[in-house]
Amino acid sequence: MTVESWIQVWYALPVLLRGLLVNLELLLGLLALGLVVGMAVALVEVYAPRPVAAAAVAYEWFFRGVPELVLLFLFYFGPDQFGVQISAFTAAVLALGFRSSAYQSQIFRGAIQAIPAGQMLAARSLGMGRLRAIWHVVLPQALRLSLAGWSNEFSSVLKDTTLAYGIGVVEVMRQARYLTARNFRLALPAFIAVAFLFLILTYLGNWTIGLVERRLRIPGLEVRR
C-alpha cells in the first residue's frame, strides 16, 4: 500500500462516486417499494380476515427466508425464462425491495399492534369507518413508533445495495473492482474508500432519520431511546 496507490484511488474517486450514486438510486427504489408493500402487508396481517392474513404471512416468510443473492438471481434470470427482459437494476430494486418489504412489514405490524385498542374504538364511536380510522388515527401513531426500527432497516439495506454487484449492476463495488482489476495494488485503498463512503452514508442517513424523528415528536408518543 504505497502513497502512490492512495493517490490513484483519490483520482478515481469521481468514478467511485458515480457508482455510489447508483447504490443510492437502488436504495431509494427499494425503500419506496419496501415501504408501500411492507405497509400493505402489515395492514393485511393485522386487519384482514384469516386466509388473506395467512397469505401475507407466507409472503413475509418467503422473502425473509430466501438469501438475498438467491433472490437477486431469481429476479434477474427468472423473467428471462418467460421471455421478459428485465434490466439488472430493475431486478435488483424488485428483489431487494420485496425483501425489505417483508422486514418493514414486521416493523409496521409491531407498531400498529402497539397502538391501544381504545384508539380504534374511540375513532369508530365518532362514526369513522375502519379505513378512515386506520388512516387518521392508527397510522399517524404507528408510523412514529416505527421510526426507530425503520432506521435500523435503512442501515441494513443501504449496505445490501452492494449485493447488486452479483447480477452485474454497475454500482460502487463494480467500479472498485474495475479499478483493482487494472492494478491489484489498489485493492486495499479502493475497498477502504468504499467502506468509508458507506460509513459516511450510514451516518448521514441516520442523522436525517433522527431529525425527522425529532420533528415529528409528540408528547406521549416519543420513541424511547
Which residues of this chain interact with another protein, rule CB under 8 A?
Answer: 116, 118-119, 121-129, 132, 136-137, 140-141, 144, 218-221
Instruction: Give whichever of 99 and 144 is closer to another protein, judged by the CB atom.
Output: 144
Q: How is residue 129 annotated by DSSP?
A: -
Q: Min. distance of Cβ 136 from another protein in angstroms?
A: 6
Give one DSSP letter per residue of 9-41, joined into a string.
HHHTHHHHHHHHHHHHHHHHHHHHHHHHHHHHH
Phi, psi for residue 66 in degrees, rounded to 5: -90, 135
Instruction: Give whichever of 67 and 129 is closer to another protein, judged by the CB atom.
Output: 129
* 40 vs 44: CA distance, rounded Å: 6
Q: Min. distance of Cβ 97 from another protein in angstroms?
A: 28
Instruction: Give whichever of 95 and 115 is closer to another protein, judged by the CB atom.
Output: 115
Question: Could you tell me which residues come within 8 angstroms of residue 45 by beta carbon, excluding any fewer than 6 positions away?
Answer: 53, 56, 57, 60, 105, 109
CA distances from 89 to 25, 72, 86, 92, 168 (A): 9, 10, 8, 5, 9
- Classify 89 as helix, strand or coil: helix
Q: Min. distance of Cβ 116 from another protein in angstroms?
A: 8
Instruction: Give whichever of 57 and 128 is closer to another protein, judged by the CB atom.
Output: 128
Question: Could you tell me which residues come within 8 angstroms of residue 79 by beta carbon, excluding any fewer than 6 positions away?
Answer: 85, 86, 91
Q: Min. distance of Cβ 212 from another protein in angstroms?
A: 15
Q: Min. distance of Cβ 222 from another protein in angstroms?
A: 9
C-alpha cell of residue 120: 380504534
Q: Min. distance of Cβ 224 from another protein in angstroms?
A: 13
Instruction: Give whichever of 84 and 218 is closer to another protein, judged by the CB atom.
Output: 218
Instruction: Give whichever of 107 and 163 is closer to another protein, judged by the CB atom.
Output: 107
